[in-house]
Amino acid sequence: MATYILVPGADGTAWYWHLVVPRLRDRGHTVVTVDLPTDDSAGLDAFADAIVAAVRAQAPRADRPVVLVAQSLGGFSAPLICDRVPVDRIVLVNAMVPRPGETAGEWWGNTGQAAARSAYAEATGRGADAEFDLRADFFHDVPPEVAEEALAAPQSGPPSAVFAQPWPLAGWPRVPTRFLQGRDDRFFPLPFQRDVVRERLGMDVEVLPGGHLLALGHPHELAAELLKEA
C-alpha cells in the first residue's frame, strides 16, 4: 500500500481530484488532498507548508511508500516538500517544469507557451488568434455535469505571489519521476510539453487520452497509471 499526495493546479482545490481519490482508496491506499492558500500574498513556500500540513494531518503512518502527484502549476510547489516529507516517487500531470531561480510568471515566456498554444489552436481549426476560453481550453473533454459543477464553484485564480517567487531549489529533486501528459491538452500542447520536459528533465512524456484536466476528464485512465506506483 502507498500514500498518495495529490497537489492541484491553479484552481488550488482538493475537489479537482475527487473522481480519482475513490479509485485509489478502494485499493487500500492512503490519499492526501489539499486546498491551497488563496491569500494573494501566499507564495510557493506557503503552498509547500499547506501540503506538508495536509500530509501530517491525513497520513500519520510513515511506513508506506509516498507518491507525490502534481497537476499543472503544482509542478512548481510540490517538489518543495521533498526535503520535508520522504517522497519515493513523483508523478507530474500536464505540469509546469521549473528551472532553478525561475518564477512561474517567467515560465510562460521562457518556454514559449503562448506561441505553442496558438499554433495548436490554428492546427486544430480554432484559429491562431483564439482567445483563452475556460470551457474550450480546459473543459472540452470533461463530462458536462462535472464541468458545470466546477464552473458553478466560486472562481479565484492562484495568488499573485506564487507567480513572483523564484523557484528556490538548485535542481529537480533526486526522486524517480514520471511525466503524464494529455494527448489533447489545448493549453500545454503535447509537442510543446515533449520539448520542455525533454530539455528540463531529460525524459519523455507518457501520453494519456484527454486534455489539460485529466483528473476530471479521464479519472479512470489517470488512476490506473497512478496505481502502477504503489
How large a percentage of the chain has pLDDT more than 70? 100
How large a percentage of the chain has pLDDT more than 90? 92
pLDDT, mean of residues 106-134 = 93
Q: What percent of the residues of the chain are helix, what percent strand, and what percent coil, each to the nearest 5? A: 40, 15, 45
pLDDT, mean of residues 79-93 = 97
pLDDT at 149: 97
pLDDT, mean of residues 112-118 = 97
Cell of 20: 480519482
Are the C-beta atoms of 194 and 204 separated by less than 8 Å? yes
- CATH architecture entry for 3-227: 3-Layer(aba) Sandwich (3.40)
pLDDT, mean of residues 139-159 = 92
Residue entry with cell 503512518: 61
pLDDT at 128: 80
pLDDT grade, residue 156 (50/70/90)? Answer: confident
Provide the strand spans (E) within the chain: 3-7, 30-33, 66-71, 89-93, 177-182, 206-208
pLDDT at 157: 79
> What rounded mean pLDDT belongs to the chain?
96
pLDDT at 129: 83
pLDDT, mean of residues 36-58 = 96
d(CA 164, CA 160): 7
pLDDT, mean of residues 181-191 = 98
Query: CB neighbours of 171 closer than 8 A, spacing ≥ 6?
Result: 100
pLDDT at 39 over 80: yes
